[in-house]
Structure 1
Amino acid sequence: MTRGSSANLGFVPEPLAQLPWKVILLVLAIGCFDLLVLYSAAGGHIRPWALSQGVRFFVLLGGAMALSRVRESTWSSISLPVYGVIILMLLGVEILGKVAGGGQRWLELGIIRLQPSELMKPFIVLACARFYEMLPPAEIRKFGAIWPPLVLIGIPAALVMLQPDLGTALMITAGGVTVMFLAGIPLRLFIGGGLAGAILAPIAFNFVLHDYQRNRILIFMDPESDPLGTGYHISQSKIAIGSGGIFGKGFLNGTQSHLDYLPEGHTDFALATMMEEWGLVGGVLLVIAWFTIIWWAVNVALKSEGRFARLTAAGLATTLFFYVSINMAMVMGMAPVVGVPLPLISFGGSSQLTVLLCIGILMSLDRQNRQQTRW
């Protein structure tokens, strides 16, 4: 069967033919479009952002394609050990971490600066999926199916909150809780948890969040209360998006980013930089591209036979969805500014690594699904 399949593919090696090339081409298109956005954000120069982002992107995309050869059993066996290593790295951030942008979130590792909290986003999904893979199905509605994942989620979320990084802590929590929900934990427990969260929210708002985090939430509810202070980012973002109109001002013709009115126009607010020049049409095409990738990830979950593969694929699809939806809502003023980057568009090596790691794991699960279907 294998020889026959190879013969039909002609000169294309079977490992390459097994890759989901439609998804890879979409990822490649988004990554190359990102280089145009960063080139423009720098005023028509490849430095300091486009060149380094492009080199990392092509290296990491090659790494994601290589990860497609990893078996599901390997991901399952390494999930908890890697989770433990990332916990140690998060502890290392508290002791030796690099302070930048008002937060202590990075580890200096020679030639690279790594944000361990980004790596926890996919591996909290793998760790929780591994726990439910080991759990007997008859135990799913008992208390023993609930508290271990809550501990797995709570430890990294608490460490990330100390950095402080509310957005990443929320994404780690959301990824883990999604796996718990999909594993079959009774719905009434999530409803109860939501009610408890609503009751505790005022306490957290007053005693847990930092001043700047509280201000961001207040600004979200009343954006015009401080347009030149805390609300400056979102006000300028809305101006940039609105001025782009339907078709945009044209490549290299953005004013908000080029005249430095838009803060963080190459990172968290890269979408605003892009939509000022490419307009609503560019934003819609980007949304279509990302949700096509997410829909492919959902289908990988639906076609997976093993419990670990199903939960992992669904959890990673949800993680990608949170990345895209939270950033877009944040940039358009529909959610508080929480510092979640737009995947493969915002400048940053750690988020690039995380997103392409998610896609590499999904490709490996997709490859195994297609092999099982063929046999």
Structure 2
Amino acid sequence: MNTLVLPDRRGGLRKNLAAVNWWLVIFLSLLAATGVATLYSVADGSWTPWALNHIMRYALGLMILMIAAFIPLRFWLSMSYPAYFFSLGLLALVPVIGEINMGAQRWIVIGGFQLQPSEIMKVALVMALARYYHGLDFKRVSNPIYLVIPLAMISLPVALVFLQPDLGTAILLGLSGIVVILLAGLSWRIVVVGAILGLMGVVTVIQLDLIKPYQIERITSFTNPEADPLGAGYHLAQSKIAIGSGGVTGKGYMNGTQSQLDFLPEMHTDFIFTIFGEEFGFFGTIALLGLYLVVFLIGTNIAMKAKSHYGRLVTMGICITFISYVLINTGMVMGLAPVVGVPLPLVSYGGTVMLTMMAAFGLVMSTWINRDQDTLRTSMSYYGRIN
């Protein structure tokens, strides 16, 4: 899997393509193909309105991945802070010009395309934090003074996303940011203190009624959805019925009763794993989770082989964000986590999520192609001293 050669920029396209980690591309494509097949089933055997768009978006995303892959990693290093502040600016514009949909203001419409800035911020935040710790001496990582900036970088977008309101994405942003700080080498004593303070913060937010009533219902209903099967627990109850009815081998492709009879909400986005589980059963869902695990392991392997500290951090940050999507989405539809509205990456329908995730894996691929380069040295010689 790891015997491919590095690209010779003086060579032709063949040598450059030989540098690509095609295993990563193959497994990402398998996930997208699974999404297409499931969306086709959700639409009762129709390519519209979701499956065909999913194909076109993945094709565009794959082009973005390849373009990002062959851009030197030192360029992404230099663009990390600008990407963060650009994304932060988009988030700040959401309350001003954002479109309201299903009671939430999360999207900006640009040229007929719905852009969700919070999805872009997931990647930009990882890039910015990786850039910060790339230039920071390891001895200073656990110094509380040097934690102020990264915590502020996390808190600002989390607060803006939380106010949209989008609890699920706010949780993912906070989790991704904290993971990058941990990977940078933060002392576990500070982690324990931070966890206690974080818990106190959650309690304070609840006591001040900053969380909307329906969000509290979502968080608490997963413990006992049967207590309100026609209200707050309806979505989760129907999801568990569908997954359970799939049994070991499933009911067969396009034969899911819960989905075909429209018992499930948001079947093409948040609850798409439920549809897949009903049709393909336990073995099918294990196979799908296996695909996600392979992508995560490939990304982890790329991070371990990178000589650049920035490359290691940005790759692991993206991989953790990616697998967090999977764990939260599958956990919530199975009743193991609150229903917070997190899509299943590359399988759920959604343009911004698809394109930003593929762009993120373009950075992972750039790390792979430039894995033998120390970004600290090359960035100094290429752009001047930026560390």
TM range (shorter): over 0.9
Task: Please give the secondary structure, in 1, of the residue aligned with 2:109.
Answer: strand
TM-score normalised by length of structure 1 = 0.94
Return the alpha-carbon distance in structure 1 between the equivalents of residues 84 and 373 of structure 2: 28
Task: Please give the secondary structure, in 2, of the residue aligned with 1:221.
Answer: coil
TM-score normalised by length of structure 2 = 0.91
TM-superposed CA distance for 1:144, in Å, is: 2.5
Contact 2:99 2:108 in 1 (8 A): yes
Return the alpha-carbon distance in structure 2 between the equivalents of residues 79 and 369 of structure 1: 18
Q: Which amino acid aligns with 2:267?
A: G
Residue deviations 1:99-124, cap 9 Å, x none?
11221000000031100000111111
> Equivalent pairs: percent with the same residue?
39
Return the alpha-carbon distance in structure 2 between the equivalents of residues 49 and 245 of structure 1: 27
Match of 1:13 in 2: 14
Question: Following TM superposition, where does structure 1 have runs of at least 4 consecutive aligned residues deviating by more than 6 angstroms?
Answer: 4-7
Matched, 1:22 2:8: no
Return the alpha-carbon distance in structure 2 between the equivalents of residues 91 and 199 of structure 1: 27
Instruction: Note the 1:274-293 alignment, pairs <5 A.
Output: 274-293=276-295
Return the alpha-carbon distance in structure 1 between the equivalents of residues 137 and 31 of structure 2: 41
Residue deviations 1:174-194, cap 9 Å, x none?
111111111122111110111
Return the alpha-carbon distance in structure 2 between the equivalents of residues 172 and 5 of structure 1: 33
Q: Which amino acid aligns with 2:78?
A: S
Match of 1:44 in 2: 45
TM-superposed CA distance for 1:201, in Å, is: 2.7
TM-superposed CA distance for 1:134, in Å, is: 2.1
- Residues 5, 84 of structure 1: alpha-carbon distance in 2 compared, 3 angstrom cutoff: closer
Instruction: Note the 1:117-136 alignment, pairs <5 A.
Output: 117-136=118-137
Return the alpha-carbon distance in structure 2 between the equivalents of residues 203 and 223 of structure 1: 26
Task: Please give the secondary structure, in 2, of the residue aligned with 1:108.
Answer: strand
TM-superposed CA distance for 1:6, in Å, is: 9.1
Match of 1:139 in 2: 140
- Residues 202, 140 of structure 1: alpha-carbon distance in 2 compared, 3 angstrom cutoff: closer
Contact 2:307 2:373 in 1 (8 A): no
Instruction: Note the 1:78-227 alignment, pairs <5 A.
Output: 78-206=79-207, 207-227=209-229
Return the alpha-carbon distance in structure 2 between the equivalents of residues 150 and 370 of structure 1: 31
Q: Which amino acid aligns with 1:24?
A: V
Match of 1:328 in 2: 330
Return the alpha-carbon distance in structure 1 between the equivalents of residues 21 and 45 of structure 2: 34
Return the alpha-carbon distance in structure 1 between the equivalents of residues 192 and 101 of structure 2: 38
Contact 1:300 1:362 in 2 (8 A): yes
Residue deviations 1:151-182, cap 9 Å, x none?
00000000001100011011111111111111
Return the alpha-carbon distance in structure 1 between the equivalents of residues 327 and 115 of structure 2: 24
Task: Please give the secondary structure, in 1, of the residue aligned with 2:222.
Answer: helix
Match of 1:340 in 2: 342
- Residues 237, 70 of structure 1: alpha-carbon distance in 2 compared, 3 angstrom cutoff: same
Contact 2:6 2:370 in 1 (8 A): no
Return the alpha-carbon distance in structure 1 between the equivalents of residues 144 and 358 of structure 2: 35
Match of 1:249 in 2: 251
Return the alpha-carbon distance in structure 2 between the equivalents of residues 101 and 258 of structure 1: 23
Residue deviations 1:312-364, cap 9 Å, x none?
11111111110111111011000000111000111111111122122111011
Q: Which amino acid aligns with 2:199?
A: A
Return the alpha-carbon distance in structure 2 between the equivalents of residues 367 and 6 of structure 1: 7
Match of 2:235 in 1: 233
Match of 1:70 in 2: 71
Across the two proteins, how many residue pairs are aligned to each other? 366
Return the alpha-carbon distance in structure 2 between the equivalents of residues 267 and 17 of structure 1: 35
What are the ranges of 5 or more consecutive residues in structure 1 without an aligned counterpart?
Answer: none
Return the alpha-carbon distance in structure 2 between the equivalents of residues 314 and 39 of structure 1: 33
Return the alpha-carbon distance in structure 1 between the equivalents of residues 373 and 327 of structure 2: 32
Contact 1:87 1:156 in 2 (8 A): yes
Contact 1:343 1:355 in 2 (8 A): yes
